[in-house]
Amino acid sequence: MKLGKVIGTVVSTHKLEAFRGVKFLIVQPLDENLKPDGEPLVATDSQQSGPGMLVTYVGGREATLLLPEKFNPTDATITSVVDEVDRS
């Protein structure tokens, strides 16, 4: 699981059946200091997250387990909306 910031949304009407009703968000991956780290990616949403929110996301096969249709080809899904990262 990694930290990211939602920086946008993607609208796609014509898509695979497995993605019906699924929201796509653009996520900027962050490093442990919450600084941008690497290229933005498109993630599916399992929470009610939106632009501006700090989130955790999971990649790999685990990402697919969070969508309503389990047999889907997503490679990143948001798992939580972060309230606070405590590094004190």
Partner 1 sequence: MKIGKVIGTVVSTLKIKEYEGEKLLLVKLLDPDGSPASDYVVAFDRVQAGKGDHILLIDEGNGARQVLQAGPEGAVRAVCVGYIDSIDLAPPRPRSFGG
Q: What residues make contact with partner 1 under the rule CB under 8 A?
A: 1-3, 31-32, 46-49, 56, 58, 60-63, 65-66, 70, 77, 79-88
For partner 1, the closer CB: 28 or 56? 56
| Min dist. Cβ of residue 45 to partner 1 (A) | 11
The residues, any chain, with a CB within 8 Å of residue 43's CB and separated by 6 or more, are 4, 24, 25, 26, 27, 57, 63, 74, 76, 77, 78
| Min dist. Cβ of residue 56 to partner 1 (A) | 5
**How, if at all, do strands 54-59 and 2-10 pair?**
antiparallel
| Min dist. Cβ of residue 13 to partner 1 (A) | 26
Distances (CA, A) of 76 to 11, 45, 87: 17, 9, 25
For partner 1, the closer CB: 12 or 62? 62
